Amino acid sequence: MRLLLINPNTTASMTDKVVEAARALVAPGAEVVGVTARFGAVVIADRASYAIAAHAALDAWAETSGPFDAVVLACFGDPGLEALREVVPVPVVGMADASIQAACRLGGRFGIVTGGSGWAPILRDFVAVRGLTDRLACIHTLAPTGADIARDPEGSLPALAAACAQAAADGADTVILGGAGLAGLAERLAPGAPVPLIDGIVAAIAQAQALARPD
């Protein structure tokens, strides 16, 4: 099995981080290939950079040689997800889409915790398009971006823990830690969290493998 991870921002270190996390999750013998956007934002933080990232994701697919068994859009918020699904001949999985599906399977209402204050309205629209507004308890954004969190994960843990606790207090039965920069942190925060936590990259890789090998 070959999985392609598309990072639709231009930060290669973020691509490396997500690829490393994915390789620890895939089945033995599976290959993970990462590709970084050739243009766009260093960090996707608002609607303008989100729109450009959708174009960049399509460009990354067009410029990458296959074959692949599935594609993972490695950005929470999934810019370009539906467009990629139109042109890519194999399953395309988005981190946000897969995480929300996983949260809904667990039941109840879910919260989202992520980095970057500009993400809240984008993610509310993302959930609304899927008809799941009534399942969304809250969105809590931290001022540091996902890239900032990735650079200092240890220092970010207290703020993330507080945000997860607040999400539970706001009625979330499950909390999604959204963002490539937050990969691996759900596992570290889980022992002290009041509700189950979902790691976006874990959810996306699980779905990609299942769709690549539906048997």
Token representation of residue 106: 């667990």
* Chain position carrying tokens 């859009």: 73
175, 114 Cβ separation under 8 angstroms: no
Class of domain 2-94+203-212: alpha beta
CA 4 to chain centre: 14
**pLDDT grade for 213, boundaries at 50, 70 and 90:** confident
Determine phi and psi for 35, rounding to 5 degrees: -135, 140
The pTM of the full predicted model, rounded to 2 decimals, is 0.94
Fold for 96-201, please state it.
Rossmann fold (3.40.50)
CA pair distance 98, 102, nearest whole angstrom: 6
Q: What is the pLDDT of residue 34?
A: 97
Per residue in 40-59, pLDDT tens?
999 998 999 999 999 999 99
Give the span between the Cα atoms of 52 and 44, in whole angstroms.
9
CA pair distance 157, 28, nearest whole angstrom: 31
Domains in the chain: boundaries: 2-94+203-212, 96-201
Distances (CA, A) of 110 to 146, 160, 172, 176, 195: 20, 16, 5, 7, 10
The 10s digit of each residue's pLDDT in 175-197 is 999 988 899 999 999 999 999 99
Q: Where are the beta strands (DSSP E) in 31-106?
A: 31-36, 70-73, 92-94
The encoded tokens of residue 148 equal: 């900032």
Helix (H, G, I), strand (E, B) or coil at 122: helix
